[in-house]
Amino acid sequence: MTVGPFESAPRPFSRVMVANRGEIAVRILKAAREAGLGSVAVFSDADASSLHVEVADEAVHIPGESLAETYLNSEALISAALSSGADAIHPGYGFLSERSDFAVAVVEAGLVWIGPPAEAISTMGDKISARVRMIESGVQVIPGEELTVPDGADHLGVLASCAARVGYPLLLKASAGGGGKGMREVREPKLLRTEYEAASREASAAFGDGTIYVEHLLTGARHVEVQILADSHGSCIHLNERDCSLQRRHQKVLEEAPSPAVDSELRQAMGAAAVKAAQAVGYEGAGTVEFLLSSSDDFYFLEMNTRLQVEHPVTEMTTGIDLVLKQFEVAAGLPLGIVQDDIGISGHAIEARVYAEDAARGFLPCVGRLSTWKIPQGPGIRVDSGVRQGDTVTIDFDPMLAKLIVHAPSRPAALRRLDTALSDLIALGVTTNIDFLRDVAAHHAFASGSVTTDFLDSSDVSALSMPEADPAVLVAVACASQRLGLERAASAGDLEASDEHTGHSGDPFRTLTRSFP
């Protein structure tokens, strides 16, 4: 009988269940197959026919209509793993991926947890405890403090005093939160109470904890994060940085690696700080340490994501390292097998998050049947998706359709490849943000590598669209293209083939509205 690649490891397992859905579930299930592992998917009533169910070796139904009954139901998920014969659980991202109590429950059930230790999740998942640990470890943090209101004290007075000490402009942040939920900017005192109450309400609804952290808002800063890998044998390395500065309401839109704002010296300093942060909590597995980078190249710890990131593909494409495979190996108790000097940078990668949403209507999520879904193909193009043609996009889950990732030898080449790939991505039947992504990627601020985190929120999104080309110019280009095609066909002695060169695809016009360095 053949022994699987992880069955003789210190923490052996042979069958992985993914406690998630969508594109990340598909990504992990395929990685499990490539690693020689069996795979199990879970699904709810709302996504019984989803792609991740098809990809898995086996799928287990978790009954229920709400997320609380299904993907947020730790008991049901663990029961599904045990009943299917899975001996390890990968949480993906979102849902229960950063819940330390779920990690504990998985281990107590006798299963292998493919993630960091529960204590590390708990410490870094709370912004206040994470901040304390970073200060103790010598990692620079943004000025701020927890809002603590003693019994009987004037709540508004305590809030105002705290805000005055930290200094305006402020960022109110849910202590237990992430993903932009429970976050409000406050630029003047008169808005403090309203924004605080809104942030606390949203935090309570999203995380069950309305505790708010008051932080000084760094304006004109970049969001730069560092990918780390650590094993249970004391090794911890970084895999360079990603730039996630192009974001809307704290939600990332485009991510890239490496950052156009980071040179080798700064990369080394940020990488060292990220490793120090991970080691401070005894981290194991793949994680991301996020920083805010000021215009003067000072960087400050923002938070640590104790899971695989949505944007992990850009790191994989520039380093050649499969992060999910490394998660499997570390969870099995194996050493990393690589050292810091092994990590280089190959070219440039950019990821675009493709959503079913209407950018012109405030990015309103859209629903409908995906009647046509054709993804671009070619060198340096990768599409991580959880949908296929014919699927129905509903309000039950996040409206992300796919992540389109491109890789090229240089950033300008990657930008051109991104625009081509986005223009070749066909999604009909539901409104998407594809045109918006093309517009922002072509905007001079992003193309020049100079955007900061407040770029989109301080811009008129409707004005980002590039102007329509002059019809007379389009006709001239079409005529020139057709004439060129006819001349080429004539010289080849095949006039019947000339239609292939007339520009019917529209490609000759792209340079009229998209210009990259």
Same-domain status, 376 and 424: yes
- Specify the pLDDT at position 498: 35
Domain end position, chosen among 160, 195, 216 = 216
Helix 312-319, helix 323-331: angle, nearest 10: 100
DSSP string of 36-100?
Answer: T-EEEEEE-GGGTT-HHHHHSSEEEE---SSTTTTTT-HHHHHHHHHHHT--EEE--SSTTTT-H
Same-domain status, 398 and 481: no
Q: Domain tally for the chain? A: 4
- Specify the pLDDT at position 504: 32
Question: CA-CA-CA-CA torsion for 173, 21, 417, 451, nearest 10 degrees?
Answer: 0
Q: How far apart are CA 82 and CA 482, in angstroms?
A: 64
| Domain at 368, CATH number | 3.30.470.20
* Mean pLDDT of the region 97-120: 98
Same-domain status, 316 and 426: yes
Contact 36, 57 (CB under 8 A): no
Q: Is residue 6 a part of any domain in this protein?
A: no
Same-domain status, 35 and 72: yes
The rounded Cα 111 to chain-centroid distance in angstroms is 27
Q: Is the pLDDT of residue 22 over 80?
A: yes
Q: How confident is the model at residue 484 (pLDDT cuts 50, 70, 90)?
A: low
Contact 118, 103 (CB under 8 A): yes
Same-domain status, 44 and 82: yes
Q: Is residue 272 a part of any domain in this protein?
A: yes
Sequence-distant contacts of 323-327: CB under 8 A, at least 24 apart = 323/227, 323/229, 323/239, 323/286, 324/27, 324/28, 324/31, 324/90, 325/31, 325/34, 325/35, 326/229, 326/285, 326/286, 327/90, 327/114, 327/115, 327/285, 327/286
- Specify the pLDDT at position 511: 40
Alpha carbon distances (Å) from 123 to 129, 267, 295, 305, 406: 6, 25, 30, 11, 35
Q: How far apart are CA 497 and CA 478, in angstroms?
A: 17
pLDDT tens per residue, range 372-400: 999 999 999 999 999 999 999 999 999 99
- Specify the pLDDT at position 208: 80
Q: Is residue 508 a part of any domain in this protein?
A: yes
- Tokens encoding 308: 């695989």
Closest CA to 461 of 186, 243, 248: 248
pLDDT tens per residue, range 304-344: 999 999 999 999 999 999 999 999 999 999 999 999 999 99
Q: Is residue 25 a part of any domain in this protein?
A: yes
Phi, psi at 411, each rounded to 5°: -65, -45
* Mean pLDDT of the region 340-358: 98
- Specify the pLDDT at position 490: 53
- Specify the pLDDT at position 146: 81
Share of the chain above pLDDT 90, in %: 76
Same-domain status, 44 and 154: no
Same-domain status, 271 and 406: yes
Closest CA to 60 of 79, 32, 80: 80
Closest CA to 178 of 251, 116, 228: 251
User: Global pTM?
Assistant: 0.85
Which residue type occupies 63?
Answer: P
Contact 132, 109 (CB under 8 A): no
| 499 vs 255 pLDDT, higher one | 255
DSSP string of 368-429?
Answer: EE--EEE---STTEEEEES--TT-EE-SSS--EEEEEEEEESSHHHHHHHHHHHHHH-EEES
Q: Is residue 132 a part of any domain in this protein?
A: no
- Tokens encoding 110: 């006798």
Same-domain status, 83 and 195: no
Q: Is residue 4 a part of any domain in this protein?
A: no
| Domain at 35, CATH number | 3.40.50.20
Alpha carbon distances (Å) from 146 to 129, 130, 218: 10, 12, 17
Q: Is residue 5 a part of any domain in this protein?
A: no
- Specify the pLDDT at position 474: 46
Q: Which domain, by its residues, includes 484? A: 471-513
pLDDT tens per residue, range 214-270: 999 988 999 999 999 999 999 999 999 999 999 998 899 999 999 999 999 999 999
Same-domain status, 308 and 335: yes
Cβ-based neighbour number of residue 87 at 10 Å: 21
Domain end position, chosen among 73, 96, 114 = 114
Name beta bridge partners: 18.
41, 90
33: exposed, middle or buried (Cβ count in 10 Å: 0-12, 13-18, 19+): middle
The rounded Cα 24 to chain-centroid distance in angstroms is 10
Helix 127-137, helix 264-280: angle, nearest 10: 110
Closest CA to 106 of 81, 83, 85: 81
Cβ contacts of 61 within 8 Å, gap of 6 or more: 42, 43, 44, 48
pLDDT tens per residue, range 199-218: 989 888 877 888 888 999 98
Side-chain-side CA neighbours of 145 within 13 Å: the count stands at: 13
Share of the chain above pLDDT 70, in %: 88
Q: How far apart are CA 428 and CA 28, in angstroms?
A: 27
Query: Which regions of 271-347 does DSSP assign to beta strands (E)?
Result: 285-293, 299-305
Q: How far apart are CA 208 and CA 206, in angstroms?
A: 6
Same-domain status, 272 and 415: yes
Cβ contacts of 444 within 8 Å, gap of 6 or more: none
- Specify the pLDDT at position 500: 35
Q: How far apart are CA 332 and CA 339, in angstroms?
A: 19
Contact 437, 359 (CB under 8 A): no
How far the first Cα of the chain sits from its last, in Å, is 57
Q: How confident is the model at residue 105 (pLDDT cuts 50, 70, 90)?
A: very high
Q: How far apart are CA 508 and CA 211, in angstroms?
A: 55
Domain end position, chosen among 189, 216, 243 = 216
Q: Is residue 8 a part of any domain in this protein?
A: no
- Specify the pLDDT at position 153: 75
Same-domain status, 456 and 475: no
Same-domain status, 163 and 204: yes
